[in-house]
Structure 1
Amino acid sequence: MPAPGEPGGRAADARDAPPGAGRGDLVHNRVAMLRAERRISRREFAEAIGVHYQTVGYLERGEFNPSLHLALRIARFFEVPLEFVFSLDEFPRIGPQGG
């Protein structure tokens, strides 16, 4: 039986997170930035990587950590290395710094 978020499986979402997977297990990502740069809607992106569009929202808000398989599909979609999209450390903010 395919795992959630994988081809042939149902779309992964925040309910698929293992018990105890809280903010301490957060994987930071640049999905929203990459998607916005390429002017791709959540629905278009979700369809391309094989998940429900709400899963993309959960992912972008940091409410869902993708499986390794899904993370690799996302990096392939954007044609960038995996570590450019995902990190255990927060990415530096881009743009004007409020002060």
Structure 2
Amino acid sequence: MDNYDTVTGALNGLKAKGYTLDFNIRFDKIICKENNYCLNPHEFEIIEVHRFEGDTNPSDEDIVYAVQSKDGKIKGVITSAYGMYADSISNEMIQKLSIHH
């Protein structure tokens, strides 16, 4: 797994590895708006995790996940703030994402 200095660097590096879709967390699933892909926690795996902590600005704290469907056909990224900026998500999604911290 590569190490990246910035969120942008991680996104560019993962895109070069084929993680081209942008997913968003929607409470109990991840969704790609571009093509309406929707994956529940049991339908995808987290392949890489890159955590970034801002030196002085809490809004710079972010996590980048490289995810793919269980069959390997759908690959993309999730960017998610953590701490007080984190979105509301289901317990199942929290468990899925927490395994990789």
Is TM more than 0.5 here? no
Larger relative CO (CA 8 A, sep 6+): 1 or 2?
Answer: 1
TM-score if structure 1 supplies the norm length? 0.28
Larger strand proportion, structure 1 or 2?
Answer: 2
Q: Which has the higher helix share?
A: 1
